[in-house]
A and B are shown apart, each in its own frame.
Chain A
Amino acid sequence: MRESNDYIVDARNITKDFGDFRALDDVSLQVKQGEVVCILGPSGSGKSTLLRCLNHLERPNEGAVWIDNDLIGYKEENGVLRELSSAALAKQRTKLAMVFQRFNLFGHRTALENVTEGPVQVLGVSQAEAKRKALELLKRVGLSDKAKNYPNALSGGQQQRVAIARALSMEPTVMLFDEPTSALDPELVGEVLHVMKSLAQSGMTMVVVTHEIGFAREVADRIVFMDEGKVVLDDTVTEVLNSTNPRARDFLDAVL
């Protein structure tokens, strides 16, 4: 048995294979309450895969993930890990919220409905209460006037902010961001980063895959640098950005 600890995210020795290809190789990641961790690394280094393993959208071949001391996807029983039912897994996922590169707002629902869907359908909150909170959240991301718009009548930046409001509506313990600004036009990046910064300042625990070094420098407590499915560096912002590790150096010099 593993005793509980004070990591909100505790991923241990994750290995993930796609056929013959090893996308993640013995990766561990720990995040404490209120910490903001940015994950950097070249394309194909396994950043998305790691994030997806955290909420079990991808099932690791080896290793396990604890979120708030809850073992994700399995039950520990006499020295074996038994797979949980999809309903039980769904319940665990409410602690993690994810924001996607391509927003993935529900296309057939308005901005408001996107934000009330989770609370009403998953948490069992009443319509009226969910709506009240959703409007508050939309206000927080600066979109009070767009509540009735369908996603296709919103700009990319607005869609991503609705997606953040949707994620927040579940009152998650930790938020995962997978390159939330890389599908956006440059002039729209700022509005999304602004919302994320204010989230970080409010004490939200966040794991952010991003190419925005500026954002990392400003709000991250730690940077994890990945390459070829491995964690190469996991250190403070200054340490990583000034690292002399050749692989990290190559990447950083290219993006800085």
Chain B
Amino acid sequence: MTAEGLTAAVDTRSQVAAFERKKRPVIVQWATAVVAIAFLVFVVVGFIQGNINWSTVGQYLFSPAVFEGLLNTVWMTFLAMGIAIVVGTGMAIMRITPNAVLQRVSKFYIWFFRGIPQLLQLYLWYNLALIFPTLGIPGVLSVNTIDIMTPLLATALGLGLCQAAYVAEVVRAGIISVDQGQVEAAESIGMKYSQVLARVVLPQAMRVIIPPVGNYFISMVKLTSLASAIQFSEMLYNVQTIYFVNGQVMELLIVAAFWYLIVITVLTSVQGRIETYFSKGTVRTVTKKKPKNRHKTGA
């Protein structure tokens, strides 16, 4: 090729390089969208044409009984998760202490409560009176088990203590994820064991602990529905009570499903915020001027 020919080629190429650009057609994506919409239409039409009385759904959506069920579901979720987090964290700490007895107790706990189906555990607590007719401190205090083991307490214990076994494993994983150097630094400035845990180890373990515990929270909202089996008046139990009378089964199940989705949507957004809070110090944070092109880690 001559020198002139080369220059000409370069010139054409500069023109080509400046051509307008077109993205590849996203046929697959469009096809997927069409299938998804078709499916959605099919389902919606099914629901509309089907034998569903939508005015009944509307009527019960904000009814006192459903509202009571919703409240009980929400507060039972927090109660059971509260128990799960407190007991689970305790078990995780027992597991990492040098005390061999405590370690065994923790292992046994996790083995036991993880091994039995949750519904069965609810029945066990609810029927505790069959094994221990009275509870209390011998000679000081004694109550009839049947009086205190209400559906509420049985549900809180059944769901909370079982979930605690899962929380314990997650917290332990979180604690192990914190570098041993952090513990040594804390000890070297004279912190007591409890301070080392509370101020140095657990806060840094949170980053690992929060996402799975958030998921447990969301599962717990749904798990509370198991308590309908022992007459705890959470949402499912309350709508069942209604449809046993009026026979509008699908309508009331839709009402319940609607509220479960609302609660879970709210919890999911809260989870995101908490995760951001505990990622403090893991995302590069500089106070003053904007850093030159520092990329974020994690988050």
Which chain A residue has the least Cβ–Cβ distance from B200? A106
Q: Do B189 and A166 have beta carbons less than 8 Å apart?
A: yes
B115 in the interface (beta carbon within 8 A): no
A151 in the interface (beta carbon within 8 A): yes
Chain A residues within an 8 Å CB radius of B285: 149-150, 152-153
Q: Do A152 and B282 have beta carbons less than 8 Å apart?
A: yes
B136 in the interface (beta carbon within 8 A): no
Binary flags per residue of B133-160, CB closer than 8 Å to A gives 1, else 0: 0000000000000000000000000000
Which chain A residue has the least Cβ–Cβ distance from B297? A152
- Give the one of B185, B204, B291 with max A CB within 10 A: B185
Q: Do B185 and A104 have beta carbons less than 8 Å apart?
A: yes
**Of residues 94 to 132 in A, which have CB atoms within 8 Å of B's CB atoms?**
94, 96-98, 100, 102, 104-110, 117-118, 121-122
Q: Do A152 and B189 have beta carbons less than 8 Å apart?
A: no
Q: Do B188 and A152 have beta carbons less than 8 Å apart?
A: no
B191 in the interface (beta carbon within 8 A): yes
A87 in the interface (beta carbon within 8 A): yes
Contacts between the two chains (Cβ within 8 Å), count: 91
A2 in the interface (beta carbon within 8 A): no
A97, B186: Cα distance in complex, Å: 11
A119, B280: Cα distance in complex, Å: 22
Q: A148-B287, A149-B285, A153-B285 are in contact. Are A106 and B190 (CB under 8 A)?
A: no
**Of residues 194 to 218 in B, which have CB atoms within 8 Å of A's CB atoms?**
195, 199-200, 203-204
Question: Whole-angstrom distance from the CB of B232 to the nearest CB of chain A?
Answer: 39
Question: Whole-angstrom distance from the CB of A160 to the nearest CB of chain B?
Answer: 12
Q: Do B286 and A153 have beta carbons less than 8 Å apart?
A: yes
Q: Do B191 and A122 have beta carbons less than 8 Å apart?
A: yes
Which chain A residue has the least Cβ–Cβ distance from B181? A104
Q: Do A108 and B280 have beta carbons less than 8 Å apart?
A: yes
A230 in the interface (beta carbon within 8 A): no
Q: Do B184 and A57 have beta carbons less than 8 Å apart?
A: yes
Q: A57-B187, A97-B189 are in contact. Are A152 and B281 (CB under 8 A)?
A: yes
What is the interface size of chain A, counting residues whose CB is below 8 A from a CB of the partner?
Answer: 37
Chain B residues within an 8 Å CB radius of A148: 287
Binary flags per residue of A72-94, CB closer than 8 Å to B gives 1, else 0: 00000000000000110011111
Q: Do A102 and B181 have beta carbons less than 8 Å apart?
A: yes
A170 in the interface (beta carbon within 8 A): yes
Question: Whole-angstrom distance from the CB of A176 to the nearest CB of chain B?
Answer: 8
Binary flags per residue of B165-203, CB closer than 8 Å to A gives 1, else 0: 000000000000001011011111111110100011001
A104, B284: Cα distance in complex, Å: 17
Chain B residues within an 8 Å CB radius of A158: none
Q: Do B204 and A94 have beta carbons less than 8 Å apart?
A: no
Q: Do B195 and A93 have beta carbons less than 8 Å apart?
A: no
Q: Do A109 and B281 have beta carbons less than 8 Å apart?
A: yes
A166, B189: Cα distance in complex, Å: 8
Q: Do A90 and B190 have beta carbons less than 8 Å apart?
A: yes
Question: Whole-angstrom distance from the CB of A204 to the nearest CB of chain B?
Answer: 16
A210 in the interface (beta carbon within 8 A): no
Give the residue of B186, B195, B281 whose beta carbon is less than 8 angstroms from that of A151. Answer: B281
Q: A108-B281, A150-B285 are in contact. Are A122 and B190 (CB under 8 A)?
A: yes
Q: Do B189 and A104 have beta carbons less than 8 Å apart?
A: no
Q: Do B192 and A170 have beta carbons less than 8 Å apart?
A: no
Q: Do B185 and A93 have beta carbons less than 8 Å apart?
A: no
For the complex with contacts A86-B193, A90-B187, A104-B181, 9 further pairs of A-B residues with Cβ separation under 8 Å are: A87-B192, A98-B188, A105-B185, A106-B182, A121-B195, A152-B284, A153-B291, A167-B189, A170-B190
Interface of B toward A, CB cutoff 8 Å: 179, 181-182, 184-193, 195, 199-200, 203-204, 280-282, 284-288, 291, 297
The 8 sampled A-B contact pairs (Cβ below 8 Å) are: A57-B188, A90-B190, A90-B191, A104-B182, A104-B184, A107-B204, A107-B282, A121-B199
